[in-house]
Amino acid sequence: MAPNGIPRASTRVAIVGAGPAGLLLGQLLTVAGIDNVIIEQRSPAYVLGRIRAGILECGTVEALARAGVAARLHEEGLVHHGIELSFDGARHRIDFHALIGRDVTVYGQTEVTRDLMAARAASGMPSVYEAAGVSLHDFDGARPQVRYRKDGAWHVLDCDVIAGCDGFHGVSRASVPGAARRIFEREYPFGWLGVLSETPPVADELVYASHPQGFALCSMRSKTRSRYYVQVPSTEQAANWSDARFWDTLRSRLDPATAQALVTGPSIEKSIAPLRSFVCEPMRFGRLFLAGDAAHIVPPTGAKGLNLAASDVVTLADALIARYAHGDAHELDLYSERCLRRVWKAERFSWWMTSLLHSFPGADDFARRIQRAELDYLVSSKAACRSLAENYVGLPH
Ligand code: RFL
Ligand code: PHB
């Protein structure tokens, strides 16, 4: 129990974390008339400063529309009908639209977050930023609590349910006793060094490049802003990479025509992200529900992280709506199992795309020939292209 004198508030759903998962859940619940409070440890500016995902599946776009935050996305998002693979000196297009009649949308996670934050502010639902010492209590009982410190003072939030949307390093998953959860994990011996630059993208669609020296990706945020990545060893530091070194490395991994078309410029942001596959089972512990990166991580190669966070959150919002609007708690009981089925398919696809396109230190000649044969097969088989397309645009929610 909170000591006397500590301010207490209560809500139905306490959401820990104001990344895309927490903000989208808050918005879907608010639209459905379900009270919620978001508690975030960082400032709004810090949350907005993180450059991350760029590709939205159709299901994610639909979820954002349902949350009432898709106006700018529909205006400014770039609809892409396919991607290109670059290897052995040439580019090969995979046309999602022709293969399966579906597309993806290029719209940065920063912009998704900005739109969700604006909607949150307009709704008047409470958000607490810069909450320190956040801790979760009694989620195995009937009345959980979230405690935190704000401006030096302790607060207690009583709730029915806690949504742990606090990312991979958050407190929610860590609050569950080790014996109650099972972790599945794979670390890759490399990371991605990413650069954002105010330059026109090298191609109309994303180019995923496989090269003996390592993977590279040409992505974008708009027609004038590009996002590029190169595979680097996991021990590498961004500070060792001048802009010139980055551009030279990127160019060396692209086919000649793409390398020649590359427009370079000063980097606006440069950072290294490690690559990891991770799943925590189950995703529910009593009245604590994990969603997004708090429950699972995929390597970014399949562009699935943000999209998985959105599909968890839609499943959780629907289950909470069933509980509060119709008194039906069964959907909450199904939450973990439903999410995990989709999560594992995205894990598989992201692991496969990563294995297909990266250089693995220590790989022998046999492994390299098999990888090349798989790329060759992929671009020459409609069935294989279709399988990639189905997974890339997103399996059904
Ligand atoms: P986030 O975004 O990490 O947000 C979690 C929030 O919780 C807060 N927090 C806490 N709050 C309160 N108390 C605590 N103790 C807390 N601990 C943490 C954090 O400050 C933060 O604000 O998780 P969320 O919402 O689950 O969203 C997940 C996505 O951010 C992530 O999956 C994607 O960015 C992954 N990802 C991509 N996903 C895609 O779908 N498509 C892509 O193209 C794509 N590209 C990428 C990516 C991730 C990358 N990196 C940096 C790993 C490219 C890269 C390079
Ligand atoms: C990005 O634009 O940041 C991006 C795009 C596709 C990916 C990963 C990251 O697979």
Rounded Cα distance, 263 and 267, in Å: 12
Q: Name all residues whose Cβ lies below 6 A of ligand 1.
A: 16-22, 39-42, 47, 52-55, 109, 131, 134, 165-167, 170-171, 192, 194, 273, 292-293, 300, 303-307, 309
Whether the predicted pLDDT of 1 surpasses 70: no
Give the number of whichever ligand sits closest to the CA of residue 302.
2
**Cβ-proximal residues to 153 (8 Å cutoff; 6+ apart), any chain:** 7
Ligand 1 centroid – CA 79 distance (Å): 23
Fold of 8-81+104-184+276-352: FAD/NAD(P)-binding domain (3.50.50)
For the chain, the domains span: 8-81+104-184+276-352, 188-275+361-392
Which alpha helices (H) appear in the chain, and where do they start and end? Answer: 20-31, 44-49, 58-66, 71-76, 96-100, 109-123, 171-174, 243-253, 256-261, 305-326, 330-357, 365-380, 382-393
Tokens of 87: 């290897």
pLDDT band at 62 (very low <50, low <70, confident <90, very high): very high
Strand partners, 187: 276
The sign of the torsion formed by the CA atoms of 66, 71, 72, 75 equals: positive
The bridge status of strand 13-16 relative to strand 36-39 is: parallel
What's the pLDDT score for residue 382?
98
Q: How far is CA 183 from the centre of its chain?
A: 19
- On whether the CB atoms of residues 220 and 227 are closer than 8 A, the answer is yes
Whether residue 2 is predicted with pLDDT greater than 70 in this model: the reply is: no
The per-residue pLDDT for 3 is: 57
Distance, in Å, from the CA atom of 114 to the CA atom of 91, rounded to the nearest integer, reads 35
Q: What is the pLDDT of residues 133-155, one digit of tens each?
A: 999 999 999 999 999 999 999 99
CB-CB contact of 265 with 138 (8 Å)? no
Nearest alpha carbon to residue 231 among 188, 266, 183: 188
> Is 300 a catalytic site residue?
yes
Model confidence pLDDT, tens digit, residues 184-233: 999 999 999 999 999 999 999 999 999 999 999 999 999 999 999 999 99
Query: Which of 173, 293, 297, 304, when mutated, tests ligand 1's pocket best, judged by the most ligand atoms within 8 Å of its CB?
Result: 293
CATH topology of domain 188-275+361-392: D-Amino Acid Oxidase; Chain A, domain 2 (3.30.9)
pLDDT for 4: 64
Provide the residue type at 337 as one letter: E
DSSP at 360 = P
Distance of CA 15 to the CA centre of its chain: 18
Among residues of the chain, what percentage have pLDDT more than 90? 96
**Distance between CA atoms of residues 144 and 33, nearest Å:** 21
pLDDT tens by residue, 238-270: 999 999 999 999 999 999 999 999 999 999 999
Residue with the bigger pLDDT between 313 and 6: it is 313
Whether residue 108 has its Cβ less than 6 Å from ligand 2:
no
Compute the average pLDDT of residues 295-306.
97
Of the chain, the percentage scoring pLDDT greater than 70 comes to 99
Question: Ligand 2 pocket: which of 56, 221, 229, 356 to mutate (most atoms <8 Å of CB)?
Answer: 229
Q: Is 392 a catalytic residue?
A: yes
